[in-house]
Amino acid sequence: MHHYDEIGLLTPSKRTEAGYRQYTDEDLERLQQILFYRELGFGLDQIAAVMNAPDFDRRAALKEQRRLLEAQIHRLQAALRLIDKTVAAMEGGIPLTKEEMFEVFGDFDPTQYEAEARERWGHTEAYQESTRRARKYTKADWQRFADENLQINGEIMRLMEAGVAPDDARAMDAVERHRLLIDRWFYPCSREMHARLGELYVTDDRFRRTYENMRPGMAQYMHDAIKANLARG
């Protein structure tokens, strides 16, 4: 909440003589609203723009948040059903079609860039090593990777929200863990190779969108922190 105060998103109505913040019931209601938006994936800049608007209406906002959460629940339930269907198909030895495998992801086509990736990197040892390792991973392995990746990305987003500069040691340590994650799961990833990946995060729209969808500005932040991590040796 200290950071929310600094950026003017949640300013306490009262302070003690010693300068400590005191939050009223109205302040806590505003905090609840902020946390609902955060749960829905809104960035702090987006939340501030919505909640600081002159025509902001808490009741209307809560109803809209409920609608968005219901839609999110629906998507997650559909994803759970697809997981169960996939596991059942695996255990029964009957593969799903590509359409069935990705039916809950709308227009997403996982094969769209396969040929391009193979053409651009298929000759490299990194691509071949990544393909070799990925073939051996089980569902549990992928879940562990996803958990680790989520933890690192969450840490980087928290650093951004706290206003930590990308060349700060904490940011460089976080992207170093990101590099080691790639190194451990896919292919040997030196700091130089990681820096080349960092360039793609800002020059390739697909990479950039991946991070921008997590938090606006994250692609550039990753790029800058990776570059700083390379420079510190």
pLDDT in tens, 187-220: 888 999 899 889 989 998 888 888 888 899 999 9
b/e code 65-84 from CB counts within 10 Å (16+ = b): beebeeeeeeeeeeeeebee
Q: Which residues of the chain, if any, have pLDDT below 70?
A: 1, 18, 86, 89-123
> How, if at all, do strands 21-22 and 14-15 pair?
antiparallel
How many other C-beta atoms can be found within 10 angstroms of the C-beta atom of residue 222? Answer: 27
DSSP lists the bridge partners of residue 152 as: none
* Residue 118: per-residue pLDDT: 52
Residue 196 identity: R
* Residue 199: per-residue pLDDT: 92
* 10 DSSP assignment: S
Residue ranges in the chain assigned as alpha helix (H)? 2-6, 25-39, 44-51, 58-92, 98-101, 114-121, 125-136, 139-161, 169-185, 191-203, 205-212, 218-231
Report which of 117, 111, 134 is spatially closest to residue 200, judged by C-alpha positions.
117
The CATH code of domain 2-56 reads: 1.10.1660.10
Which residues make up the CATH 1.10.490.50 domain(s) of the chain? Answer: 113-231
Structure tokens at 175: 């992207």
* Residue 194: per-residue pLDDT: 92
* Residue 95: per-residue pLDDT: 61
Which residues make up the CATH 1.10.1660.10 domain(s) of the chain? Answer: 2-56
Q: What is the CA radius of gyration of the chain?
A: 22
* Residue 110: per-residue pLDDT: 44
* 188 DSSP assignment: -
Dist CA 120 CA 122 (whole Å): 6
Among the four given CATH numbers 3.40.630.30, 1.10.490.50, 1.20.58.2050, 3.10.129.10, the one describing domain 113-231? 1.10.490.50
* Residue 227: per-residue pLDDT: 97
